[in-house]
Amino acid sequence: MKLNKAITNEIICVLLILLYSYTAFSKSLRYESFVNVLERSPLIGKGAATAGWLLPTVEFSVALLLLFPGTRRYGLYISATLLLLFTGYLIYMVLFAATLPCSCGGVISNMTWKQHIFFNLFFIIINIAAIRSYRHIAIRPSRKPV
Amino acid sequence: MKKYAGGIAALVVALGLSSFSTRHETKRGQDLYPYYFSFDGNSVGEESDSTNYTWLPDGPTVECDPGTLHCVINADKNASGFPILRSGGMNVFTEVSSKEQQ
């Protein structure tokens, strides 16, 4: 049972690493386009240049935190916070923004904003599941041979 | 090393996928810069103000194939933007028809 949880946790972390590193690499490779789109966002606007390098840096840092078992717990908490913030931003934009610029790369750019919200909700759910199972694994004392 | 295998594989896959999609988009856009418009199925909407893309004197014209969502935008010869039409939140495959300014 504990082994199953550990494997599930590992799979979720790999999926999150894939998500964060993919978006970080995509934004870095298309930096100019990314900043261009951020400039048009009503919530970011003038902070686009800073957000342009800060977001991929944070995303890549989270991927690295998730990579190493010693820092994975922090990575999961930061990842859940980022996903919640980003989903809140998407919901705000869908409800209140007049125009919807998209800076997503590759496959994600083919999604509508509403599909993107559901995509994020999926990752939030598995992220929270990983935090819960990680806490469970960490709290349960391991049996020592007598 | 074994315990990092999944994560390292994910990093490598992510790098490969992102560089492939970036190269694909750049090739599709003929090395032009990204540029975004809204599109309601018939006409081009708001223009981005951050690049120096210019239209033909008659204004932007767009010809689309509704089946493939492949659109051709008639633009200035010196256009330096990569026009991306977005319809219903989706990117529509576009290309620039670089005609001489009339």
ipTM value: 0.73
CB-closest option in B3, B7, B22 to A66: B7
Helix (H, G, I), strand (E, B) or coil at B83: strand
Name which residue leads in pLDDT, B23 or B15: B15
What tokens appear for A73 in the block? 């717990």
Check CB contact under 8 Å for B11 and A21.
yes
Residue the block writes with tokens 């290309």: B95
Phi, psi of A75 (to 5 degrees): -60, -40
Rounded to the nearest angstrom, the minimum Cα separation between B22 and chain A is: 7
A104 touches chain B (CB under 8 A): no
Average pLDDT over residues A44-54: 85
Check CB contact under 8 Å for A110 and B90.
yes
DSSP characters for A85-109? HHHHHHHHHHHH-SS------GGGG
B22 touches chain A (CB under 8 A): yes
Check CB contact under 8 Å for A110 and B14.
no
Check CB contact under 8 Å for A101 and B36.
yes
Residue the block writes with tokens 């469970």: A136
Residue A81: per-residue pLDDT: 96
Average pLDDT, chain B: 61
Name which residue leads in pLDDT, A108 or A87: A87
Task: Give yes or no for a contact between B4 and A67, defined as CB atoms under 8 angstroms apart.
Answer: yes
Average pLDDT over residues A43-62: 89
B7 touches chain A (CB under 8 A): yes
Assign residue B31 a region (left: φ > 0; alpha: ψ between -120 and 50; beta: otherwise). left
Rounded to the nearest angstrom, the minimum Cα separation between B79 and chain A is: 16
Residue A114: per-residue pLDDT: 79
CB atoms under 10 Å from CB of A122, counted, come to 12
Residue B92: per-residue pLDDT: 58
Residue A29: per-residue pLDDT: 81
Average pLDDT over residues B4-8: 87
How many whole angstroms separate alpha carbon A63 and alpha carbon B4? 12
Check CB contact under 8 Å for A22 and B14.
yes
Interface test with B, best of A7, A8, A20, A22 (most B CBs within 10 A): A22
Rounded to the nearest angstrom, the minimum Cα separation between A125 and chain B is: 20
Dihedral angle at the C-alpha atoms of A78, A31, B29, B22, nearest 10 degrees? -50
Task: Give yes or no for a contact between B68 and B44, defined as CB atoms under 8 angstroms apart.
Answer: no
CB-closest option in A14, A106, A113 to B10: A14
